[in-house]
Structure 1
């Protein structure tokens, strides 16, 4: 995008406005049923924008690798919205819960949180039961007897692999992402072609 708001040409501002509108549509269409409370919202702009990749670069980066998608707050939000259309959002929610779980430093909190995650995502008939094999489920149950930050690692890894091999390719092919990526590409191309030339210093 353009470097500073003051330097935005009218076309760049219009494109930014259109892009933001499309993001809203992507997240808030009723059929997506996006839960902004649990995952977060798309962030348009940032007070650290000079240090971070532009939004269009962020969107285009999601198709480069699953790691880049998961490392982007906006990418996670978009992927979650997509998974809700396939009724498989529990996989991502479990993965995110595990990431937060690893940050806990208190042994007491670690144990109680581990049981909550297990009851919500792992045990049979859990409200958000993830698709893992019986062996992994029992291994995780055993790990809970002496909960550590790594007790969900195997289950989390298998869930991540399932998303990467199955849901992620469909997300990239979805009309919502294809449209978003096209806008990002157009925005990125427009910004680079309309950026004012640097003054020469003689």
Structure 2
């Protein structure tokens, strides 16, 4: 019988998080035979070389590009850390909510999915930020996740984004875009 995550002892949850982290590290080691370019949906798209190279200019360029977000999401899945981007995107969508009636329900759903301790897709936040966000959700406004979203953005920009740019996955996307550009006939 499934008891759910909340019913598991804390030691089991810690071991599961440690396992998730170690598995992510193993996937990055070339001796384990994982080739990122063959993983995920992102490699099935035809990205322009200019677009792919533009993602390297800044994290903001990557986030402004629908294809960039999709490629970054696929990369994060290989690291088992897609919850940070999913939280950031959920916050962006939440801020566009105009109905006051829907704000509270959406805020609670985001909090339960990403912010509360032992959430199914818990993001890495310090205790103070988690508590401030919990208090903000009680009186949900369009910016109640602002502090948590900024911290998650900073974490991705300083940690996941540089790894994405150095990864075989990004190199493969660049090579695919380059080879696609070279294979196009030149019109004169």
TM class, shorter-length: 0.7 to 0.9
* 1:98 CA drift (Å): 0.3
Of 94, 98, 118 in structure 1, the residue corresponding to residue 111 of structure 2 is 118
Q: How does 1:91-106 map to 2 (within 5 A)?
A: 91-106=84-99
Partners of 2:72 and 2:164 within 8 A in 1: yes
Of 144, 148, 155 in structure 1, the residue corresponding to residue 141 of structure 2 is 148
SS at match of 1:157: helix
Note the aligned Cα RMSD (angstroms): 2.3
Unaligned runs of 5+ in 1: 1-22, 29-33, 35-40, 45-53, 198-202
Partner in structure 2 of residue 5 of structure 1: none
Partner in structure 2 of residue 27 of structure 1: 40
Partner in structure 2 of residue 64 of structure 1: 57
Partners of 1:60 and 1:185 within 8 A in 2: no
Looking at structure 2, the residues matched to 59 and 180 of structure 1 have their Cα atoms a distance apart, in angstroms, of 7
Change (3 A) 1:118 1:83: same
Change (3 A) 1:150 1:160: same
Higher fraction of helix = 2
Partners of 2:37 and 2:172 within 8 A in 1: no
- The one-character-per-residue Cα deviations of 1:89-108 (angstroms, maximum 9, x if unpaired) are 10000001001101111111
TM-score (norm 2): 0.74
Looking at structure 2, the residues matched to 179 and 24 of structure 1 have their Cα atoms a distance apart, in angstroms, of 5
Looking at structure 2, the residues matched to 81 and 156 of structure 1 have their Cα atoms a distance apart, in angstroms, of 20
Change (3 A) 1:163 1:91: same
* 1:85 CA drift (Å): 1.2
TM-score (norm 1): 0.69
Aligned residue pairs: how many? 153
Q: Does 1:108 align with 2:121?
A: no
Q: Does 1:76 align with 2:89?
A: no
Larger radius of gyration: 1
Looking at structure 1, the residues matched to 146 and 131 of structure 2 have their Cα atoms a distance apart, in angstroms, of 13
Looking at structure 2, the residues matched to 102 and 175 of structure 1 have their Cα atoms a distance apart, in angstroms, of 34
- The one-character-per-residue Cα deviations of 1:21-53 (angstroms, maximum 9, x if unpaired) are xx993424xxxxx9xxxxxx9755xxxxxxxxx
